[in-house]
C-alpha cells in the first residue's frame, strides 16, 4: 500500500475532503485533526452489515480497514464530552457546562485507578519482576522501579498501575512477598490533598520523560478535546504544559495520572498556587494593577520557572 488520499467528512451526507496518507498507507490522526480540529478518530459504514465501524487507531496512527482505504467516505469522530464544542453539532442536544465536564469523567470511568507506590522492594527486583508479580492480580498497565540516575541502582521502591479499580483495591488491602521481602502498596503522598484548581484551559503535565515529544503529547491529549498548544521547556525539565480549546476539558483532567507511551504523568493546573506577582509590583502604587496584569499575561505564557 502506498501514499494516497482518503475521503473524510464530518457527516455521511457532507461533502468529503481528501486527506493524504503516509508513505506506508496509514493516516495520521494529526492530519485529520488539521482539517477537523478536535477529531479523535474515524469511522465508516461497513457495506456488508450497514453498521458503522471504527477505524483502528494506534498511537495516533489510523490504519486502513482492508488492503487499502478504498473510495468510501470516512466520518470524523469527536470526543463525546467535547461534542458541543463543535459547530457541526446541533444545538438541541447541547449540554450545559457541568454536563460536559462530567461526561468526560463518566466516559473514562467513575472508578478511576491511580498509581500505587510499592515500598520495600529488594534491590534486585526489576520492572519485569514487578509486572510478572502484579499481573497475577489483574491487568497491569504500568510498572516503574525508581533508580539512581547515575548508578542505575534501585532505590527500593516503585510504582504500579492497574486497569481495574477492583484489582487496585485488592492489591492495596494486603502485603506482598516480592523476591523475598515484604512490600506495601499504598496511594502515593503526591496525590494526597487535591487542592481546588484554578479555572484554566492550560494544564501542567508533571513527570514527563525526555522521550515524550510535543507531538506525542498533542496526539495523546487530543482524545479529550482540541489541543491548542503544547509547551515543553528546553532544556529538559520533566514537565510540560498542554492548552485545550475548552476549559472544561482541561479541568476534567486535573488531578489525574495518565499514561503516555508507558510513562505515568500527573496532570494539575498550570496556574501556580502561590503567585507572588502582585507582591512584586506592590511597591509601585498606581501603576501596579496594569503592570501586574501585563506581567501576569507574560508569566502565563512563559512561567518564570522555565528560565
Partner DNA sequence: GTTGAGCGTT
Residues that bind DNA (CB under 7 A): 114-115, 117, 119-123, 144, 146, 151, 153-157, 159, 181, 186, 188-191, 204, 206-207, 209-210, 236-239, 257, 264, 266, 268, 305
- C-beta of 116: minimal distance to DNA in Å? 8
Nearer to DNA, 109 or 122 (CB): 122
**What is d(CA 199, CA 85) in angstroms, rounded to the nearest whole number?**
18
**What is d(CA 261, CA 139) in angstroms, rounded to the nearest whole number?**
17
**Nearest in space to 128 (alpha carbons), one of 145, 105, 115, 113:** 145
- C-beta of 24: minimal distance to DNA in Å? 31
**What is d(CA 59, CA 3) in angstroms, rounded to the nearest whole number?**
19
Nearer to DNA, 55 or 265 (CB): 265
- C-beta of 128: minimal distance to DNA in Å? 17
- C-beta of 192: minimal distance to DNA in Å? 8
Nearer to DNA, 60 or 158 (CB): 158
The answer to whether the CB of 79 falls within 8 A of the CB of 44 is: no
- C-beta of 73: minimal distance to DNA in Å? 42
**What is d(CA 307, CA 237) in angstroms, rounded to the nearest whole number?**
10
Nearer to DNA, 157 or 165 (CB): 157
Nearer to DNA, 63 or 186 (CB): 186
List C-alpha distances in Å: 204 to 251, 272, 275, 300: 11, 10, 15, 12
Amino acid at each position: 500500500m502506498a501514499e494516497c488520499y482518503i475521503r473524510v467528512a464530518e457527516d455521511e451526507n457532507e461533502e468529503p475532503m481528501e486527506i493524504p496518507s503516509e508513505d506506508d498507507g496509514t493516516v495520521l490522526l494529526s492530519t485529520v485533526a488539521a482539517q477537523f480540529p478536535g477529531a479523535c478518530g474515524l469511522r465508516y459504514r461497513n457495506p456488508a452489515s450497514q453498521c458503522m465501524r471504527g477505524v483502528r487507531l494506534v498511537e495516533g496512527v489510523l490504519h486502513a480497514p482492508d488492503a487499502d482505504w478504498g473510495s468510501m467516505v470516512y466520518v470524523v469522530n469527536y470526543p463525546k464530552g467535547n461534542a458541543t464544542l463543535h459547530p457541526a453539532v446541533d444545538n438541541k442536544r447541547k449540554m450545559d457546562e457541568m454536563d460536559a465536564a462530567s461526561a468526560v469523567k463518566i466516559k473514562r470511568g467513575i472508578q478511576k485507578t491511580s498509581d500505587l507506590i510499592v515500598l520495600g522492594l529488594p534491590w534486585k527486583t526489576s520492572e519485569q519482576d514487578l509486572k510478572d508479580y502484579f499481573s497475577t492480580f489483574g491487568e497491569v498497565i504500568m510498572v516503574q522501579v525508581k533508580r539512581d540516575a547515575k548508578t542505575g541502582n534501585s532505590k527500593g521502591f516503585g510504582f504500579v498501575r492497574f486497569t481495574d479499580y477492583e484489582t487496585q483495591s485488592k492489591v492495596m488491602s494486603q502485603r506482598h512477598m516480592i523476591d523475598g521481602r515484604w512490600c506495601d502498596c499504598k496511594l502515593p503522598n503526591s496525590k494526597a490533598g487535591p487542592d481546588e484548581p484554578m479555572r484554566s484551559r492550560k494544564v501542567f503535565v508533571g513527570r514527563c520523560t525526555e522521550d515524550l515529544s510535543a507531538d506525542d503529547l498533542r496526539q495523546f491529549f487530543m482524545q479529550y478535546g482540541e489541543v491548542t498548544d503544547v509547551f515543553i521547556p528546553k532544556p529538559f525539565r520533566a514537565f510540560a504544559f498542554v492548552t485545550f480549546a475548552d476549559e472544561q476539558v482541561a479541568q476534567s483532567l486535573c488531578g489525574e495520572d495518565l499514561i503516555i507511551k508507558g510513562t505515568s504523568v500527573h496532570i494539575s493546573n498550570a496556574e501556580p498556587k502561590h503567585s507572588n506577582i502582585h507582591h512584586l509590583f506592590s511597591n509601585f502604587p498606581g501603576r501596579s494593577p496594569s503592570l501586574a496584569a501585563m506581567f501576569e499575561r507574560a508569566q502565563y505564557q512563559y512561567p518564570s520557572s522555565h528560565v
